[in-house]
Amino acid sequence: MEHKIALVTGTTSGLGQAAARLLAQAGWTEIIVTGRTLARAQQTAAELAADTKLKVFTPLELDLDKPSSVQSALAELVKRGRSVDFLLLNAGLVPFKQRVLTEAGVESSQAPLIGHHQLTVGLLNANLLSPSARIVIAGAEPARGGVPMFKYTDLPAFAAKYHHGDRTAAVEAVIRNGPKVKYVPNNAYADAKLVVAWWVAALARRLPSGMAVYAVSPGGATDTKVVRSAGPALRYLMIPIVKLIPGMNQTPETAARRYIQASEFGTDVSGQFFASAQGKFSGPIEVQRQPHLHDRASQEAAWQAVVKVSGVDFSSAPSLSAAS
C-alpha cells in the first residue's frame, strides 16, 4: 500500500497522537488529524508539526458523538476529493462510573463505534477510500474474555431470555444499555469492544475486493487519557497493579505501533481481531480464535444493530462474500 493519505480519529492525545506521529515518520504524505472542535484539531496538527518537523498534518473537526459533525466532516472530505488510504478509527472511551448516554441514547463507550460506522460507511458511499485501503479500529483485550474484572454479555443467552432469540434486538439493547442490561462500567467496556470485533467481521464481508479491515487491541498503555472516565477500581487498583507487572504495560508509542503494523496486513486476514496472546497485554499480536468472536449470527446481528442505531447503511446493498 502506498503511504499517501491517512485519517486518524482521536488524535488530540494518547494513542491517536502517537499513531499520527509514527505515520509521519514513516513517510505518509498527509495525515488528517481530528478533534471535537476545529481549534483543537488545528492545535494538535501544529503540535505534531513542531514535534516532527514535518508539514503533513491536516486538521479536521469531527465529534463522533454528533451525527451532524460526522456529516460535516464527510462533506469536507468530499469537497477535498482525495481518497484515504489508511483509516485508523482510534477514538474510544472507558465508561464512566455512572451510566452516561449520548443525545442519541447510546451508552458512552459504545458511542465511538456508532460514529466510526457513520464515518466509514460515508467514506465508502462517497468512494473516498482507495481501492487498496486499510481500515483499523481500536479493539481491546476484554473482548476475547479471560481478563480479570471484565465480563462481556453472553449474547445468545441474553437474546433468548429477553428478546425471543432476536440477536439484533439484543445487541441494540447492549449498545443502548437498555432494559435488562445492568450497568457495570468494566462489563460495558468489554461489550463495546466485543461489538467492535463483530462489526469488523461483518464489514469485511461487505468491503470491495482489495480493501481490508481489522480490529486491533493496542494492549496495555495506561499513560493515556482514555482512562480518565474509569471507575475507582480500575484507576486505583487494576492500573497500578498492571504497571508493576513486567509485560503488562507499554508506552503509547509501542501500543500505537500495533495499528501501524496492521495497516500492512493482507486481505486474507480481513475481518479478524488481533490482540496479545491470552493472559498478556503487550508483545506480539495474534488473531484471536475464541468461538464467540467468530459467531457469524452475532456478527451480523451487531452489524444490523449498528445500522439501526446509526441510521446509516450502504447506499446500495452489497453482496456478502462466503467468508465466515
Q: Is residue 320 part of a domain?
A: no
Q: Is residue 209 part of a domain?
A: yes
For residues 215 and 278, what is the distance between their CA atoms, to the nearest angstrom? 16
Give the chain as a 3 state SS string: CCCCEEEECCCCCHHHHHHHHHHHHCCCCEEEEEECCHHHHHHHHHHHHHHHCCCCEEEEECCCCCHHHHHHHHHHHHHHCCCEEEEEECCCCCCCCCCCECCCCCECCCHHHHHHHHHHHHHHHCCCEEEEEEEEEECCHHHHCCCCCCCCCCHHHHHHHHCCCCHHHHHHHHHHCCCCCCCCHHHHHHHHHHHHHHHHHHHHCCCCCCCEEEEECCCCCCCCHHHHHCCHHHHHHHHHHHHHCCCCCCCHHHHHHHHHHHCCCCHHHCCCEEEECCCCCCCCEEECCCHHHHCHHHHHHHHHHHHHHHCCCCCCCCCCCCCC
Check: CB of residue 107 under 8 Å from CB of residue 176.
Answer: yes
For residues 216 and 141, what is the distance between their CA atoms, to the nearest angstrom? 9
Does the predicted TM-score (pTM) go above 0.85? yes
User: Sign of dihedral through CA atoms 60, 66, 69, 73?
Assistant: positive
Q: Is residue 198 part of a domain?
A: yes
For residues 132 and 125, what is the distance between their CA atoms, to the nearest angstrom? 16
pLDDT for 126-144, tens place per residue?
999 999 999 999 999 999 9
pLDDT for 37-74, tens place per residue?
999 999 999 999 999 999 999 999 999 999 999 999 99
Q: Is residue 318 part of a domain?
A: no
Count the domains in the chain.
Answer: 1
Q: How many Cα atoms are found within 13 Å in the side-chain-facing hemisphere of 134?
A: 25
CATH number at residue 144: 3.40.50.720
As beta bridge partners, residue 87 has 7, 135
Q: Is residue 216 part of a domain?
A: yes
CB atoms within 10 A of CB 91: 28
- Give me 16's grid cell: 491517536
pLDDT for 101-125, tens place per residue?
998 899 999 999 999 999 999 999 9
Q: Provide the percentage of residues in the chain whose pLDDT is more than 70.
A: 87
- What pLDDT band is residue 278 in, cutting at 50, 70 and 90? confident
- Find cell 473482548 and name the residue: 143
Residue 160: CB partners within 8 Å, gap ≥ 6? none
Q: Is residue 322 part of a domain?
A: no
For residue 20, the enclosing domain spans 5-309
Check: CB of residue 35 under 8 Å from CB of residue 275.
Answer: no
Q: Please check the confidence at residue 297 and state whether its pLDDT lies above 80.
A: yes
Q: Please check the confidence at residue 287 and state whether its pLDDT lies above 90.
A: yes
- Give me 106's grid cell: 447510546
pLDDT for 221-250, tens place per residue?
665 555 545 555 555 555 455 554 445 568
Mean pLDDT is lowest, of 123-127, 195-199, 218-222, for 218-222
Q: Is residue 264 part of a domain?
A: yes
Q: Is residue 150 part of a domain?
A: yes
* CA-to-CA dists, residue 60 to 56, 79, 111, 300, 313, angstroms: 13, 13, 19, 31, 23
